[in-house]
Chain A
Amino acid sequence: MVEELNEQAQREKYVRGFGAMVLSRTLDRKLITAQRQGRVGFYTPSTGQEATQVGASMALSKEDIIYEYYRDVALMIHRGVPIEVMLDQVFGNSSDLAKGRQMPSHFVARNYNFMSIQSPVATNLPLAVGAAYAIKYRKKGNIVFATFGEGSSSTPDFHAAMNMAAVFNLPIVFMCENNGWAISTPVEKQTKTEIWKKADAYGMRGVKVDGNDFIETYKVTAEAVEQARAGNGPTLIEAVSYRMGPHSTSDDTSKYRTDEVQEGSEKDPIEVAANTLKEMGFINDNVVSRIKEESVRIVEQKFDEREKIPAPDPETMFHDVLAELTWNLEEQMREIL
């Protein structure tokens, strides 16, 4: 269940959530533009999924462990990860926590319990199950929250993870961020069943939520989190939204779809959230404008600042393969550098 809050606290919580959505969208816009200008190599925007991610994040605690995927920027921002962390990773500069080793959008933020991102989809899910096993074994009280796209529901890793989480009755919440598209493949060609219904086959609770509604997503996630914390096993949540941007900066959506959702339209989750909060009397047009302007200012300033940071020292390429630098890597380093 969602926590009981007085109106002031609820207003702060919801408006902060809205702020994270707007900041995430602003960062997406900037990075897509920057990629077209040749200032950034690649990017996978989260545009259209902000309400899903912020709603989910509102239900999680600081101690919960997140096995995220590469389209969770709003989730990261809402959990407090500074946008410098994302920008440094996108530039792969010497301040990047992972020393520029991965292509953009593969963030790591261990201090915020984000367990880092791989490209092969759904391979984070069995790891999430292992982390949940460790929590249960140590009786720690936190939970694991794992995200993935609807395309991932076709993989063997999805099946293995769902099955094992249910068999071992683990404290984990799976969230399928169903944005309708796996690059060019629509969900109808991905699977013949609704994703939340697959939970039934594994013996766990499945639930579908309108991922464009952050308050509903918050409530549904909170319920699943409470169930997991209480030792009552995993839940599979399907949060339905729409991938408003391309899969990545490398594809052209006009090749495969015509049902684009425009920014600012009534299907844009940020518009939905703004209207909801206005109806609740929590914000007005002035506040929305101020939040948007402030987000642009922050993103522009941080982007320019982080872009100037130089590449990592070439020697770092040879570090962290194993705990210690082996003789062959030492030799190869001398040969190349």
Chain B
Amino acid sequence: MSSKVMNMVQSLNSTMDLRMSQDDSIILLGEDIGKDGGVFRVTDGLLDKYGEERVVDTPLVELGIVGMAIGMASSGLKPIAEIQFQDFIYTAMDQIINQMAKLRYRTAGLITAPLVLRTPYGGGIRGGLYHSQSGETYFAHTAGLVVMTPSNPYDAKGMLSSAIDSPDPVIFLEPKKLYRASKAEVPEEDYKIPVGKASLVHEGDDVTIITYGSMVPLVSRAVSNNSVSADVIDLRTLVPLDINAITESVRKTGRVVVVHEAPRTLGMGAEISALISERMIEYLYAPILRVTGPDTPFPYRLEEYYVPNEKRIMAAVQKVLEFR
């Protein structure tokens, strides 16, 4: 089993390359994904290899990209569409919510739209209001979508490969902060990380920290630097949630912190907190705390105050550990 050291961009690129070489129903489409290789270069080199019929530079219209991908998927192709920044996806929300998410339901499975919609999200590039948003709640709140977000190069490949095979439409959120943040050994052959399966990235006894995407390396570092005995759960799939992974850990530790970059109100933390309260309050020793972006738009100059950091994470962890 040979492998290569790759960052997340290279891992995603090699996954699409590998899968496209095996399956000619896979078509990439999006803005500037061909000659330019995508603004983050995730599709770099694929146009030369597969031609413009399969690596399609589209007009600048997100709702058209999503709508077209839905139609392709219903006709037996396997589109992987890219939205250049998640912040630009909103004109396509009608297509996502009313077509992509509802096609299977409204036809009782006679017509489906198994496409992958990739898009970079979150902070990390000083992008300000319109190049930094974390909108996962919008998708997670809509019945009929799978929502995934990887946190490292190894997972990125296994998760994207599973997303490609999924019979359901998948919103694949790529934390742009992690695109080139680290490298890891990535096997060259295909492998899968199943949809709906979380990962325990750090094991401990005293507290459970539930997180995903760009926050995972930050939380792991915080736990190691401060010698906290913590379970760190990387959800990987936000819908459907891995409730078993959460349950198992919370029953062991009885103390929970949820960390995400998205704004607090009605974020994933709210749902996770409610699920734990409803199902296992008798195991809890402390209130569930959330460390999140504030309920403001994402600021340009003051980005470092917006995005959760080690200090804020540790303050919440200390608070739940000391709660009596």
Contacts and interface: CB of A to CB of B under 8 A. Distances in A.
Contacts of B74: 115, 127, 130-131
A326 B105 contact: no
A127 B168 CA distance: 16
> Most chain-B CB neighbours within 10 Å: which of A127, A128, A168, A319?
A127
A337 interface: no
A130 B68 contact: yes
A1 interface: no
A126 to B, nearest CB: 2
B243 interface: yes
Contacts of A67: 71
Contacts of A319: 108-109
Interface string B102-136: 11111111111000000000000000000000000
B61, B76, B98, B146: residue with the most chain A Cβ atoms closer than 10 Å:
B61
Interface in B156-174: 166-168
B63 A157 contact: yes
B318 interface: no
A236 to B, nearest CB: 16
B66 interface: yes
A106 B73 CA distance: 21
A25 B283 CA distance: 65
Contacts, number: 149
A144 B59 CA distance: 20
B89 interface: no
Interface in B63-106: 63-64, 66-77, 79, 91, 94-95, 98-99, 102-106
B297 interface: no
A101 B106 contact: yes
Interface residues of B, number: 47
Contacts of A65: 75
Interface in A169-197: none
B111 to A, nearest CB: 6
Given A131-B75, A134-B76, A328-B240, A323 B64 contact: no
A115 B99 CA distance: 11
A168 B95 CA distance: 20
A261 B8 CA distance: 64
Contacts of B70: 126-127, 130
A108 B106 contact: yes
B98 A323 contact: no
B104 A321 contact: yes
Interface stretch (A45-53, A159-167, A290-298): A159-167
B72 A118 contact: no
Nearest to A156: B63
B64 A320 contact: no
Contacts of B91: 156
B111 A99 contact: no
B322 interface: no
Contacts of B75: 65, 130-131, 134-135
A126 B68 contact: yes
A311 B168 CA distance: 27
A137 interface: yes
Interface string A211-224: 00000000000000
B143 interface: yes
A118 B111 contact: no
B213 interface: no
B61 A320 contact: no
26 contacts: A98-B108, A98-B110, A101-B105, A118-B102, A123-B95, A126-B68, A126-B95, A127-B70, A127-B99, A129-B68, A129-B71, A130-B72, A130-B73, A132-B71, A137-B77, A157-B63, A157-B67, A157-B94, A163-B64, A164-B58, A319-B109, A320-B105, A321-B104, A321-B105, A322-B104, A322-B146
Which 7 pairs show the lowest CB-CB distances between chains A and B?
A: A126-B67, A130-B71, A160-B64, A134-B75, A127-B71, A130-B68, A323-B167
Interface of B: 27, 53, 56, 58-59, 61, 63-64, 66-77, 79, 91, 94-95, 98-99, 102-112, 143-144, 146, 166-168, 196, 240-241, 243
